[in-house]
Amino acid sequence: MSGAREQFGSRIGFILAAAGSAVGIGNLVGFPVGAAKNGGGAFLLMYAIFVFSICLPVMLAEMTMGRHAKKDPLGAYSAISGDSPKWKLAGWLAIATPFMIAVFYLVITVWIFGYLFEAVSGNLDLLANPETFNLFINSSSIFIYMAVVVGVVYLILQGGVKEGIEKAAKLLMPALFVMLLGLVVFVLTRENAMAGVKFYIIPDFSKLTASVINGALSQAFFSLSLGMGILITYGSYIDKRADVPTSAKLVALTDTAVAFTAGLMILPAIFSFNPNTNPEDLSESSVGMIFTYLPNIFLALQDSVGYLGASIVASLFFLLVFFAAITSLVSIFEVPVAALMDEKGVSRKWALTSLGSIMIVIAILAALSFGKVEALTSFIHYAGVDKSFFDVILDVFYETILPLNGLLVCIFVTYRWKSANFNKALEEGSQGYRGSWFEKYVDVSLKTFIPAILLVIFINTVAVKYF
């Protein structure tokens, strides 16, 4: 932002914007897939523990860094560290990460847009066919959909409809939640759904492996938009009167409630549509699974509301998910755009166009890596398997760098900025935080076991993922 820094108009505006960024494909697709893949209840338990014991303090650290420095992530690391070149590297990483995450996020948003288009066109039965997803992601129409999605993001970030989006979010995000609840009720009344509920809610501790723990942590970071510079950037738009601890708690709660509800829809649906589901086989679950089960849930509605009714419900749902994805995509992409403007003093248009063009090229390569182009499909070989270009982005940025960025934030605020300064900055504007047990917890945990756990998980991920 050049000139006076933009500010959120109100506390609720900030919470909604942060929640709008947090609630997205991660909650609706990533979380249910993660839960299915990683043993259901064991994953859910680890996820909940991580959100409140690790992610919440890291969230406070990021928001406070941004609010104090009033800068993008790179500027915040430099300003607070007194221009330390080493910490600037951490700043660069906090900008490169959302850029690369935006690439795979864009690809999945494009799929959602395609499904919306097909649902509106009345092709629900086609979407419900398990073969469709693979054919769809390898079809050439993907590139037309991509052009539309990129156009929408460009328009929003260019500023024209930003306010409209915020207003729409106030209506559409609650609508999405209500619709999810309705679908949960529908799925739970189906035969054999309770087997899915059991798998989802009751933890089987024998499933608690290192990879389940890694998966739960990466998912929690991703879902809360941590480790991507986004909350540093958003923090820079709030003033000293804002109550950061309360806002962070509300964002974490909202985000977790949406993820939990999405899981409560998908896992029972899997068991109800496939009564012979063996929980062991679910470890092979993938994003494609959600794109098959959702249309099946809608199609099952036709007994009560007819095909047209089912298609309308499906279209509405995909529209709301598309909206949630777009608000998230816009917020991730805002990080590198704002950073380029802050650091190089370029105009918003220039930053958007140059970064956008690079992103489109990488996203096209990622979209071609599901079978269309062999060199991208078997892009590189590690850990005994061929990885696609898309997989590599996911492994490196989602699984590995997110927790690393979190680790850097903890070390930075407690040892470089110093806990006393950080605590003072965080206390400003908060109510009832100073002197509370929560403050003590945040203070001690950020200095000690959170960085220790993040370091162990980072090392383990590197060892397991790449060797």
Under the binding rule (CB under 6 A), the answer on residue 98 touching ligand PFF is: yes
Is the CB of 50 or the CB of 222 nearer to ligand PFF?
Answer: 222
Contact 402, 454 (CB under 8 A): no
Give, in degrees to the nearest 5, the angle at Cα 54 between 48 and 59.
105
Give the residue carrying structure tokens 């829809």.
265
Other Cβ atoms closer than 10 A to 9: 10
Under the binding rule (CB under 6 A), the answer on residue 25 touching ligand PFF is: yes
Question: What tokens appear for 286 in the block?
Answer: 């993938």
Under the binding rule (CB under 6 A), the answer on residue 405 touching ligand PFF is: no
Under the binding rule (CB under 6 A), the answer on residue 290 touching ligand PFF is: no
Is the CB of 341 or the CB of 368 nearer to ligand PFF?
Answer: 341
Interface with ligand PFF by CB under 6 A: which range of 46-54, 218-226, 286-294, 424-432?
Answer: 218-226
| Nearest distance from C-beta of residue 288 to ligand PFF, angstroms | 17
Interface with ligand PFF by CB under 6 A: which range of 22-30, 44-52, 141-149, 241-249?
Answer: 22-30
Contact 46, 213 (CB under 8 A): yes
Contact 348, 341 (CB under 8 A): yes
CA 51 to each of CA 28, 39, 108: distance values in angstroms, whole numbers, following the listed order: 17, 18, 24
Which one among 8, 21, 207, 446 touches ligand PFF, defined by CB under 6 A? 21
| Nearest distance from C-beta of residue 465 to ligand PFF, angstroms | 20
Under the binding rule (CB under 6 A), the answer on residue 326 touching ligand PFF is: no
| Nearest distance from C-beta of residue 323 to ligand PFF, angstroms | 12
Is the CB of 146 or the CB of 330 nearer to ligand PFF?
Answer: 330
Please name which of 393, 330, 337 lies closest in space to residue 166, comparing C-alpha atoms. Answer: 330
Give the residue carrying structure tokens 């609630």.
23
| Region for 133 from its dihedrals, namely left if φ exceeds 0, alpha if ψ lies in -120 to 50, beta otherwise | alpha
| Nearest distance from C-beta of residue 299 to ligand PFF, angstroms | 25
> Which residues neighbour 10 within 8 Å (Cβ) at sequence distance 6 or greater?
none
Q: Using CB under 6 A, count the residues that bind ligand PFF.
A: 15
Which one among 332, 363, 368, 404 touches ligand PFF, defined by CB under 6 A? 332
Give the residue carrying structure tokens 């090229």.
361
Under the binding rule (CB under 6 A), the answer on residue 132 touching ligand PFF is: no
Under the binding rule (CB under 6 A), the answer on residue 256 touching ligand PFF is: no
- Find the helix packing angle between 162-188 and 244-273, rounded to 10°: 40
| x/- track of binding to ligand PFF for residues 339-368 (CB under 6 A) | ------------------------------
Question: What tokens appear for 306 in the block?
Answer: 């007819």
Contact 445, 53 (CB under 8 A): yes
Under the binding rule (CB under 6 A), the answer on residue 22 touching ligand PFF is: yes
Is the CB of 24 or the CB of 75 nearer to ligand PFF?
Answer: 24
Interface with ligand PFF by CB under 6 A: which range of 16-24, 75-83, 262-270, 410-418?
Answer: 16-24
Question: What tokens appear for 111 in the block?
Answer: 């799929």
3-class SS string, 253-296: HHHHHHHHHHHHHHHHHHHHHCCCCCHHHHHHCCHHHHHHHHHH
For 385, phi and psi rounded to 5 degrees? -135, 155
3-class SS string, 315-378: HHHHHHHHHHHHHHHHHHHHHHHHHHHHHHCCCHHHHHHHHHHHHHHHHHHHHHHHCCCHHHHC
Is the CB of 124 or the CB of 173 nearer to ligand PFF?
Answer: 173
Please name which of 23, 9, 2, 10 lies closest in space to residue 254, comparing C-alpha atoms. Answer: 23
Which one among 254, 256, 328, 377 touches ligand PFF, defined by CB under 6 A? 328
| Nearest distance from C-beta of residue 251 to ligand PFF, angstroms | 10
Under the binding rule (CB under 6 A), the answer on residue 225 touching ligand PFF is: yes
Is the CB of 272 or the CB of 327 nearer to ligand PFF?
Answer: 327
Contact 24, 321 (CB under 8 A): no
Is the CB of 162 or the CB of 447 nearer to ligand PFF?
Answer: 162
| Nearest distance from C-beta of residue 29 to ligand PFF, angstroms | 8
- By beta carbon distance, the residue nearest ligand PFF is 26
Question: What tokens appear for 110 in the block?
Answer: 């494009």
DSSP-assigned letter for residue 386: E
Is the CB of 228 or the CB of 450 nearer to ligand PFF?
Answer: 228
Is the CB of 231 or the CB of 310 nearer to ligand PFF?
Answer: 231
Q: Which residues bind ligand PFF (CB under 6 A)?
A: 21-22, 24-27, 98, 222-223, 225, 228, 230, 328, 331-332
